[in-house]
Amino acid sequence: MAAIPQALDRELRALLGDAWLRDESDCLAYAYDNSRKLAVPDAVALPTTREQVQALVRACRAHALPLVARGRGTNTTGATVPVAGGVVASFERMDAIMDIRPGDRCAVVEPGVLNGDLQRALAAHGLFWPPDPTSADFSSIGGNLACNAGGPRAVKYGASRDNVLALTAVTGAGELIHCGSATTKGATGYDLQRLLVGSEGTLALIVEATLKLAPLPPARRVLRALYRDVASAAAAVARLMAQPVTPSMLEFMDGDCVRLARGHMQANGGGDLPADAGALLLVEADGDPDTLPHAIRALRQAATGEGLVALDEAVDDGERARLWAARKALSPALRTLAPGKINEDVVVPVSRIPELVAGVQALAREYALPIVTFGHAGNGNLHVNLLFDPADAGQSRRASAAMARVFALALSLGGTLSGEHGIGLAKRDSMPRAITAPTLDLMRQLKSVFDPDGILNPGKLLPP
Amino acid sequence: MAAIPQALDRELRALLGDAWLRDESDCLAYAYDNSRKLAVPDAVALPTTREQVQALVRACRAHALPLVARGRGTNTTGATVPVAGGVVASFERMDAIMDIRPGDRCAVVEPGVLNGDLQRALAAHGLFWPPDPTSADFSSIGGNLACNAGGPRAVKYGASRDNVLALTAVTGAGELIHCGSATTKGATGYDLQRLLVGSEGTLALIVEATLKLAPLPPARRVLRALYRDVASAAAAVARLMAQPVTPSMLEFMDGDCVRLARGHMQANGGGDLPADAGALLLVEADGDPDTLPHAIRALRQAATGEGLVALDEAVDDGERARLWAARKALSPALRTLAPGKINEDVVVPVSRIPELVAGVQALAREYALPIVTFGHAGNGNLHVNLLFDPADAGQSRRASAAMARVFALALSLGGTLSGEHGIGLAKRDSMPRAITAPTLDLMRQLKSVFDPDGILNPGKLLPP
């Protein structure tokens, strides 16, 4: 574990003043993220300028001290837990929206801006930034970019990597680099900005981002389709994705999820989910009031087919909330099953969803633990949730073993480890199964170019 | 200049048989691209398997021999001209469409497949691959990816980089790497596939690509809007891009282009362009027959405003051809002005288009050469065409000097050197004006990781 040399402590206190925290109780707030892992840093820096970030990186490098960038710590993989000690650089004070340029469909922001705050500022201009992680209201743009955050809208609009035009960043060598340009097309040298997105703070610290914006659709409509079984729902997903109207959301729940949601809704005096539903799709379209009815008709038609049990459409906000209720009931319903939950977001090609779900159900039986599957079906990005009691050593062991099998299953179906949560610590040791040895070796060498002394977020993303 | 050592010649003849060309007349066909530059390679390899590509790279590396990957040589920047001699690896025999998976909206191809051949195969499944360079019928997917080719559809669908899911490639170190996965979402380690796209064969040779496909829209409609001046047209572009219906094409012609096209059309007995038009927009929407009228209505409304002179709409293919005639007349009309043409595809933020066009017109006057501007306005990706007589030394000098000023102008407006043509040799020496020294230095170090001995396409993209 690292410790802060006295000379460095003096240097950084002079640089940062009261934005250099050494008190353990202050540091504790930066010790964890949404992964339930915890490691208290030796110090926390709250820089306010890119010059401070650059000086901080150079100082840490001079002392070979680990430096972990942090947005708001909402990631689920341990990516921001300072497991090697050292300094956490929290970007909470670099939270300016520097420029919104509606005519150029872009915004320039500091990394600490919260996604939700940005969306509210953009809405005034009739624009939005597409990435919509569940944590949007309290996660930062810098964190969204570092983890390539997605969300349900990614099926139509892409994830963070698809919605960034340019980044300014400080490498682990302490160099300020400018990647990309504020234009929606570019063929000028190597694409460094998309390489930084999803690199989880292991290559460089983002100090400014130019984001690609989309026009805010004035209206949305939702369909709720219930199917006899997962195979019927998956076939509908393939049909929905093969026709020209791309839904703005396409969410899936397996039969266990539907049963859990139905029980939760009934216990709370509501719900309208039929008993014979073995899978559910929520299909949303966005657009203007003129074209939306046609879009929804095309989606209805694609959703209709073998195994459809019921198809409901919402035309107003109240109806929309009623149809989304099943999805919203899922999280509280899952909490009633067991005190512990592992939520992994594997991805498979859309056509392999039935095999993934069937395989997960077989693993649930084999390991005698409830595992349910739901998520962003249009991207094949499914959240596999395993419920267990962390206080029970046997269950914990079985949970780990089952999740390793889930990863292996997703990979065997031509998928990958993560669609939007990232790797961090949680999936780091599975990387050699997803990425070939020469490719991993190349990634390690790239890391060495950006971060020659390995000070940036050591122990994350790349296996030891 | 390189020469082929005898031992290497024997080794590669044994590996490739009659796919190893040494005859100078054979090699001449691989000496040039669409840049009018020429350098005859010492040998040409026509590999048919990834194993051959890997063996070829390793053999060239062992002898420190330059190796230049080539699709069909349609690029305009000299990116495939073997200026340092050595071996050209042409992928024309690796042209299999390996898999089309409509349910997963992806196709797996070898690099030598022609864009046009792929589009015809995909159309049978109701799908297409969005990149649509002018050369689509005779340019290869590998070349499209190497140069990050775009085209008019990029305004809605993105360029090559936005439409690739996974790549298999051989690095300059001779390692076979697998980048990305056949899924539309991924947060599993560093994004290497988008780094390879646009790297112009300087990092690795692509041997397989998994492409992201889009559903083929069943119908298209086009608007032709004429404006009093460029500022009015640019304001319309900003309005068009700020509302929710993104056009599938949004092409611009400046006043000189309109005059040239009008003259050419009249000389050929046709044309309907009013005399007072100082700028033209072609606005295309795609979709299904139900929603298209609404989309066009929204686009009409956005196109309408201060300075609009005429607005025409095409409802059938004949009408569509009539409205596109002005754009099609432009290339032959330009040829009548001067024997030589430099066509550079700078990009600026959409809001800066008027300043770019005005600045280009000022440069035309200053250097006493015709320069016209047209192109993909929705992305701010404008083709600046300078007409001159290459036989006239004074004109040639002024042409070079004027184009350097065009690059400086685009950069000063927050733009970049290229939107879809790339850097190659043509813009290599301008890179230090577009990319900061620390960022360029990082790019050089990345190149060294992929290509430790600098054998892949030496002299391209990165300035010496």
Q: For chain B, what is the total number of helices (H) and then of strands (E)?
A: 15, 18
pLDDT above 90 for B48: yes
Q: What average pLDDT does range B241-248 have in this prediction? A: 89
Residue closest to B240 by CA, chosen among B298, B302, B285: B302
Q: Do A446 and B446 touch (CB under 8 A)?
A: yes
Q: How far apart are CA B423 and CA B417, in angstroms?
A: 8
Tell me what the mean pLDDT of segment B277-281 comes to: 95
Interchain contact, B443 vs A191, CB within 8 Å: no
Q: Is A379 close to B181, i.e. CB distance below 8 A? A: no
Instruction: Tell which residue, B232, B325, B346, has the closest CA to residue B240.
Output: B232
> B382 pLDDT exceeds 70?
yes
Do A291 and B245 make contact, defined as CB atoms within 8 angstroms? Answer: yes
SS3 B370: coil
For B72-94, what is the mean pLDDT? 96
**Tokens 């539903």 — which residue?**
A277
pLDDT-derived band at A2, boundaries 50, 70, 90: low
**pLDDT tens-place string over residues B254-264:** 999 999 999 98
Digit-coded pLDDT (tens) for A428-448: 999 999 999 999 999 999 999
> Of the candidates B187, B192, B241, which has its C-beta nearest A420's C-beta?
B187
For A436, the closest of B178, B218, B238 (CB atoms) is B178
What does the pLDDT read at residue A284?
A: 96
* CA nearest to A185 within chain B: B419
Q: Which DSSP state fits B32? A: B
Q: Mean pLDDT, to the nearest integer, of B234-247?
A: 90
Among the listed residues A193, A89, A216, the one whose alpha carbon sits nearest the alpha carbon of residue A140: A89
Cβ–Cβ below 8 Å for A190 and B203: yes
Residues above pLDDT 90, as percent of chain B: 87
Residue B275 DSSP label = T
Tell me whether residues B187 and A419 touch, CB distance under 8 A: yes
Q: CA of A282 to nearest chain B CA: how many angstroms apart?
A: 18
B263-273 residue pLDDT tens? 988 888 777 88
C-beta atoms of B159 and A288 within 8 A: no
Tell if the CB–CB gap between A216 and B244 is shorter than 8 Å: yes
Alpha-carbon distance of A109 to A98, in angstroms, equals: 5
Model confidence at B228, pLDDT cuts 50, 70, 90, reads very high
Distance from CA of A162 to the nearest CA of B (A): 7
Q: What is the mean pLDDT of residues B211-234?
A: 94
pLDDT tens digits for range A154-174: 999 999 999 999 999 999 999
Residue A243 has its nearest CB partner, among B186, B194, B215, at: B215
Question: Could you read off the pLDDT of B128-166 as tens digits, one per residue?
Answer: 999 999 999 999 999 999 999 999 999 999 999 999 999
| Interface contact A416-B380, CB threshold 8 A | no
Distance from CA of A176 to the nearest CA of B (A): 7
| Cβ neighbours of A216 in B, within 8 Å | 244
Distance between CA atoms of residues B234 and B398, nearest Å: 29
From the list A150, A197, A446, which residue is nearest B449 (CB)? A446
pLDDT of residue A259: 92
Interface A–B counts its CB contacts (< 8 A) at 297
Contact B190, B178 (CB under 8 A): no
Confidence of residue B2 (pLDDT cuts 50, 70, 90): low
Considering only CB atoms, A215 lies closest to which of B101, B126, B243, namely B243
Residue A416 has pLDDT above 80, yes or no: yes
Interchain proximity B188–A102, CB inside 8 Å: no
Helices H, strands E: what count in chain A?
15, 18
Query: Which range is most confident: A311-325, A434-448, B241-255?
Result: A434-448
Most confident of A170-174, A214-218, B185-189: A170-174
Mean pLDDT of A234-251: 92
Domain annotation for chain B: domains and CATH numbers: 6-90 (3.30.43.10), 97-215 (3.30.465.10), 218-336 (3.30.70.2190), 338-448 (3.30.70.2740)
- Contact (CB<8Å) A181/B218: no
Q: Where are the beta strands (DSSP E) in A57-171?
A: 67-70, 87-90, 97-101, 106-109, 127-128, 164-171
If you write DSSP's letter for every residue of B82-145 in order, what string do you get?
Answer: -TT-SEEEE-TT---EEEEEGGGTEEEE-TT-BHHHHHHHHHTTTEE-S---TTGGG-BHHHHH
The confidence score (pLDDT) of residue B303 equals: 98
Residue carrying the six token digits 């703070």: A201
How far is residue A75's CA from residue A67's CA, in Å, rounded to a whole number? 17
Instruction: Evaluate if residue A319 carries a pLDDT over 90.
Output: no
Whether residues A431 and B188 touch (CB distance < 8 A) is answered with yes
Name residues whose C-beta falls within 8 Å of residue B347's C-beta, 6 or more positions apart in sequence. A181, A183, A185, A186, B379, B380, B381, B382, B410, B415, B416, B418, B419
Instruction: Tell me the pLDDT tens digit for each residue of B296-306.
Output: 999 999 999 99
pLDDT band of residue B291 (cuts 50, 70, 90) is confident
Does pLDDT of B318 surpass 90? Answer: no
**Do residue A188 and residue B246 have CB atoms under 8 angstroms apart?**
no
Residue A449 near residue B449, CB atoms below 8 Å: yes
pLDDT of residue B77: 94
> Which of A175, A184, A292 to mutate against chain B (most B CBs within 10 Å)?
A184
Closest chain A residue to B162, measured at CA: A162
Comparing A92-96, A225-229, A279-283, B350-354, the range with the smallest average pLDDT is B350-354
Mean pLDDT over B343-366 rounds to 94
pLDDT at A271 over 80: no
- The mean pLDDT of chain B is 95
Contact criterion met (CB < 8 Å) for A178 and B436 = yes
Distances (CA, A) of A463 to A145, A434, A460, B238: 21, 12, 7, 47
The one-character DSSP state at A217 is P
pLDDT at position B108 is: 98
Tell me if B242 and A101 make a contact (CB, 8 A cut-off). no
Cα B303 to Cα A171, A216, B106, B108: the distances in Å are 44, 19, 35, 39
Question: Is the pLDDT score of B119 beyond 60?
Answer: yes
Nearest CA in chain B to A423: B188
Tell me which of A76, A171, A181, A351 to substitute to probe the interface with B (most B C-beta atoms closer than 10 Å). A181
CA distance A316 to chain B (A): 20
Best B157, B196, B291 member to test A by mutation, with max A CBs in 10 Å, is B291
> Per the CB < 8 Å rule, is B101 touching A351?
yes
CA B67 – CA B456 distance, rounded (Å) = 5
Among B183, B238, B431, the residue with its CB nearest the CB of A189 is B431
Tell me the three state secondary structure of residue A6: helix
Across the range B231-246, mean pLDDT stands at 90
pLDDT in tens, B404-421: 999 999 999 999 999 999
All residues of chain A having their beta carbon less than 8 Å from the beta carbon of residue B443 are: 189-190, 192
